[in-house]
């Protein structure tokens, strides 16, 4: 059994098992150290690339959200109803109404296309980031 010394450390007695040689442990530690360092370096590089991709993706998502908040969606039918009503009341001519309606639809299509292309870009980035992680 072990006896306690005055400084609190246990004193080995005949009943305790002999300790393995320190030299063997040091040799194993030296051999294992390069493997661990390489694995840590790879993990660190993957983590850095992942965080860079994630932060870039977060920024892109924030920009996409900003674009969505600034846009308004109106159906073609609703715009047509409002324009027809303005013509009926005599607020604008039929020609002006048709031109305005065409311009609004054209601008709406451009905005929709821009938002969809931004969304597709974000989706590609997210897939690349997922591939790197998995």
One DSSP character per residue, the chain reads: --EE-TTSPEEP-TTSPPPPPHHHHHHHHHHHHHHHHHHHHHHHHHHHHHHHHHHHHHHHHHHHHHHHHH-----HHHHHHHHHHHHHHTSS-HHHHHHHHHHHHHHHHHHHHHHHHHHHHHHHHHHHHHHHH-
Percent of all residues in the chain with a pLDDT value above 90, rounded to a whole number? 28
User: Does 99 score more than 90 pLDDT?
Assistant: yes
Domain boundaries, the chain: 35-133
pLDDT at 38 over 60: no
Q: What is the pLDDT averaged over residues 64-88?
A: 89
Whole-model pTM: value is 0.50
């Amino acid at each position: 059994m072990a006896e306690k010394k005055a400084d609190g450390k246990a004193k080995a007695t005949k009943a305790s098992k002999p300790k393995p040689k320190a030299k063997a442990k040091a040799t194993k530690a030296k051999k294992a150290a390069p493997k661990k360092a390489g694995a840590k370096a790879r993990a660190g590089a993957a983590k850095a690339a992942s965080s860079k991709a994630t932060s870039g993706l977060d920024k892109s998502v924030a920009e996409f959200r900003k674009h969505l908040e600034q846009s308004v969606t109106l159906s073609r039918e609703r715009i047509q109803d409002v324009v027809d009503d303005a013509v009926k009341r005599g607020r604008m001519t039929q020609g002006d109404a048709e031109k305005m309606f065409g311009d609004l639809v054209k601008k709406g299509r451009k905005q929709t296309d821009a938002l969809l292309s931004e969304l597709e870009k974000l989706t590609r980035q997210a897939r690349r980031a997922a591939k790197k992680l998995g």
